[in-house]
Amino acid sequence: MTVHEEFADELALLALGSLQGEERAAVEKHLEGCAACRLELQQLRGEMALLALSTAGPKPPARAKERLMRTIAKEPRSQRSESHRAPWWAVLGWATAAAMIIMFTLLWQQNRTLEQQVAGLSAELKQQQAELAKARAIVATLTKPDAVITVVKANTLPQPQGKAFYVRDPARLVFIANNLPQLPPQKAYELWLIPASGAAPIPAAVFKPDAHGSATVINPPLPVGVQPKAFAMTIEPEQGSSTPTMPIVMVGGA
């Protein structure tokens, strides 16, 4: 996650309380939807805390503590605890304060552990969702009623074969190939969509087969709505070509 550069200076000003009016409203609105910038704001406040340390030195006078203790002896605690407050609360003020500190610490640690667990789980969930979306896209292409299935073959043995599952709109293509001969160095296979309109072949994907000669191409970027005449494969430089280099090694009509 990265901080949005256009808000970077403003976040520091917001932390310091220098931002007012529209500028402040704009940053606060952005923060509502941006976790990275919220985290940055917390860290900038951390730097503010560190800056406070540069003043360390003077100690408050002893009377300040006495005054505080006198005041809190008379002050009610939070509204939440008020309704449950037993009469002995005030008498046991010190013991309660000590217990509060211990409880603070325990809850703090527990909360930190839970936060870490939640972060781990949400990362895992995100990954699974991405995998699921990918799988759904493949299934959608394979099962769409208007999918065009094209077998791309060669005449040598063992016979290389490719299957293209193609949907025009939205443009979706899954291409699965087997028994592909290994490529010369710095070369790759390129798959072409040959339009029925007679227009120039459209480069669909550049790929290399695995050690067993298998390869899968899933949903490469393609223009929408092209009626295919055939799919063909050529051998091209690794970075791919914009027009096919003869000979065509495999071809299949739609």
Partner 1 sequence: MAQLYDRYSPIVYSVALRVLGDTGAAEDVLQDVFIQLWKNPGLFDSSRGNLGAWLSVIARNRAIDALRKRRPESEIADVIVSVQPDLAGDAERSRAMEKVRGALGAMPSAQRSALELAYFEGLTHTEIAAKTGEPLGTVKTRIRSGLLQLRKAFQT
**Do residues 207 and 217 make contact, with C-beta atoms less than 8 angstroms apart?**
yes
Paired with 44 in beta bridges are: none
Q: How far is the CB of 162 from partner 1 (least distance, A)?
A: 52
Residue 13 or 249 with smaller CB distance to partner 1: 13
Q: Give the containing element (helix H, strand E) for 6.
A: helix 5-16
| 16-75: contacts with partner 1 (CB under 8 A) | 16-20, 39, 41-61, 64-65, 67-69, 71-72, 75
Q: How far is the CB of 13 from partner 1 (least distance, A)?
A: 6
Q: How far is the CB of 32 from partner 1 (least distance, A)?
A: 12
Token pair of 23 as six digits: 């500028």
Residue 84 engages partner 1 in binding (rule: CB under 8 A)? no
CA–CA gap between residue 143 and residue 137 (Å, rounded): 10
**Do residues 240 and 190 make contact, with C-beta atoms less than 8 angstroms apart?**
yes
Nearest to 221 by CA among 198, 188, 184, 191: 191
Residue 81 or 129 with smaller CB distance to partner 1: 81
Stretch that binds partner 1, among 4-12, 119-127, 211-219, 243-251 (CB under 8 A): 4-12
Residue 115 engages partner 1 in binding (rule: CB under 8 A)? yes
Residue 117 engages partner 1 in binding (rule: CB under 8 A)? no
